[in-house]
Amino acid sequence: MDFLVAQFLNGLASASSLFLVASGLSIIFGVTRIVNFAHGAFYMLGAYIAYTLATTIPQPFGFWLALPLSALVVAAIGAVVEMTVLRRIYAAPELFQLLATFGITLMVEDLVVMIWGPEDLLGPRAPGLEGAIPIMGQLFPTYDLLVIAMGPLVLLGLWLLFHRTRWGVLVRAATQDRTMVAALGVNQKWLFTSVFTLGIFLAALGGALQIPREAVHHALDLQIIVEVFVIVVVGGLGNVLGAFLAAVLIAELNAFGILLFPKISLVLMFLVMAVVLVVRPWGLLGKPDAEARASIGQAIEPLRRMGPVSLAVSGLLVAALAALPLVAGPYLVIVTMELLIFALFAASLHLMMGVGGMVSFGHAAYFGLGAYGAALLVRFLGVPMELGILLGPLLALAGAILFGWFIVRLSGVYLAMLTLAFAQIVWSIIFQWYDVTGGDNGILGIWPARWASDPKVYYYIVLVLCVAGLVAIRRVIFSPFGYAVRACRDSTTRAEAIGLDRRRVQWMCFALAGAFAGVGGTLYAYLKGSVFPDVISIATSVDGLVMVLLGGIQTVAGPIVGAVAYKALSIYMTSQVEYWQLILGGLIVVLVVAFPEGIAGFWQARVAPRLRAATGRGWEARS
């Protein structure tokens, strides 16, 4: 009993810290509509800077000055980021904003390693609150009581700020209708900057508060951002009180889950989120998004089948790829296989995201299920490669059918978060089900059949299957079913009014996309000869997103271009540059600011019309 109380208080302390970060994220989303992926990075930065300040300013003031000072410094950095990057892309589709903040995250991750080194840093104890006090017979750290108090205090402070100041009223008004606020004489730019700065201040304060409680390290950002996303979504986007309740719920779940269900402790949070979202599609206290936003991938320019020139170029490209092993060395062949596999992965994501309008933060789940499908068949049944390649993707298909049923019940950011939840569930199962999946150690020895053991031979299997997959995806997009998918994305009202069952159509689309990703995953497993839980990690899902967005979501060729460009770049960078994330992140930010429509989209919107104008071919003439 006493132990349970202590555990409960522990949970509350974590909840406070999570709430600080989540409230900031929620406020920023409410007003700017930006899903700030970099929020975790600012949290981490808050912790690092607080560590430095607390260890350089003499105690006892050092520590207590470090907390607010660090939050202020990071908030100032946040303000600069908002003014230089985000301000330029508020009009861009929300996913590009996400992409930009992801780029910032990459940069910050490398920067903290450059400045503070890769080691874990242990912060000083809080002067005056070093000890512990007995609570029901258990010693409980005094400092944690302060942390527990911070949550409700910040909640109260935010409530007063939003209801008792003009600034707060403006923020609430802008959350509902920011254009109208501007039309009443309020300078949106500064309102956005101030909101973003406040949000980052809270995140950094959350990070700074943690330094006596846990070590500071350079992976803190991803660790917290996922939990905070879950909290914000469970609470209801943009709802601060909801975020508080969800923070307590999730933190207590973590505190007790590890005691009650140690085997599925990692999954628990995501299970709860999945249940909440299925029962309450807009979170505990959230409201349906009244503002109808143009959905992702919606284009004015209709998709077109390839003209003779594009067909010829594609044919030549495939021919060149077929000839590659004759001239290239094994390294280039292996790299090309990886590019092909990821092109298929990105194209499958584009099918559901660009064509279907369903954004996925967890597409890696199906890639990973394809890989593990083959690996498990090899490990337990010893099936030959030929059969493994055929059956492996079925696991991905089954997963997509199962999860898809839930996912198509939601839309927008909530749908995206549910895909993330399911991906994390898959990852956790594979990570924790050691007896079957080998957990962290993965499954080894998934090699191609003897006749295909030469990379140059396996290359042709990959080439044939990936090209076939890409052609098939393209075919589906232009098939009647593809039109049904686009119809549901463009206008659900109209689609339902002409006899389409939106959920069913989207469910099928989701299953198809999962199956194609699974093919990629299976091929990847045989390419690497092994699988590890990494293939399902958030990083892989985000890689897919970056590829699609970089290439351009409104074109069919975009994701392929994006996959090749991004993957080639990251393979090159990881091998050549020490701080490759910094450069990659910077590149992403620059690309998003310069080309908010993506590379292929930029080509189609800006370059192609000029070419057409120059050659005198208007689109009317091509019909």
Contacts to another protein by CB under 8 A: 166, 169-170, 172-173, 175-177, 179-189, 297-303, 305, 475-476, 478-484, 486-487, 489-491, 493-501, 505, 508, 619-620, 623
Instruction: State the angle between helix axes of 385-407 and 412-432 in degrees (0 to 180), rounded to the nearest 10.
Output: 140
| Residue 8 to residue 20: CA distance in whole angstroms | 19
Burial class of 27 by CB neighbour count within 10 A (0 to 12, 13 to 18, 19+): buried
C-alpha span between 402 and 407 (Å, rounded)? 9
**Cα distances (angstroms) measured from residue 306 to each of 174, 314, 392, 466, 566:** 44, 9, 32, 19, 24
Which C-beta is closer to another protein: that of 165 or that of 574? 165
3-state secondary structure of 141: strand
Instruction: Provide the minimum distance between the beta carbon of 197 and another protein in the complex, in angstroms, as a whole number.
Output: 19
Which residue number, 78 or 354, has a Cβ lying nearer to another protein?
354
Q: Which is nearer to another protein, 214 or 490 (CB)?
A: 490
527 sits in which H/E element: helix 502-528
Using the minimum distance from each CB to another protein, give the nearer residue, 490 or 534. 490
Nearer to another protein, 129 or 170 (CB): 170
State the minimum distance, in angstroms, from the CB of residue 607 to another protein.
17
Q: Which helix (H) or strand (E) covers residue 613, if one does?
A: helix 608-615
Closest to another protein by CB, 126 vs 557, is 557
Instruction: Kindly state the smallest distance separating residue 467's Cβ from another protein, in Å.
Output: 18
Q: d(Cα 619, Cα 623) in Å, to the nearest integer? A: 7
CB closer to another protein, 405 vs 483: 483
Min separation Cβ 501 and another protein, Å: 6
CA distance readout (Å), 556 to 188, 309, 607 = 36, 16, 17
What contacts 106, CB < 8 A, 6 or more positions away?
581, 582, 584, 585, 588
Half-sphere exposure of 589 toward its Cβ, with a 13 Å CA cutoff?
Answer: 23
How far does CA 226 lie from the centroid of its chain?
9
Q: Provide, rounded to whole angstroms, the least separation between the CB of residue 466 and another protein.
A: 19
The two three-digit tokens of residue 332, written as one number: 């280039």
Q: How far is the CB of 449 from another protein (least distance, A)?
A: 30
Q: How far is the CB of 421 from another protein (least distance, A)?
A: 28
Q: Tell the smallest beta-carbon distance from residue 617 to another protein (Å).
A: 14
Tell me if 600 sits within 8 A of 115, measured CB to CB. no
Give residue for tokens 């003014």. 83
Give whichever of 116 and 478 is closer to another protein, judged by the CB atom: 478
Q: Which is nearer to another protein, 173 or 241 (CB)?
A: 173
Smallest separation (angstroms) from another protein to the CB of 180 = 5
**Closest approach of another protein to the CB of residue 7, in Å:** 38
Q: In angstroms, how far is the first alpha carbon of the chain from the final one?
A: 75
Q: Smaller CB distance to another protein: residue 125 or 172?
A: 172
User: ω before 60 within 30° of 0 (cis)?
Assistant: yes
Q: Determine the 3-state secondary structure of 135 from DSSP.
A: strand
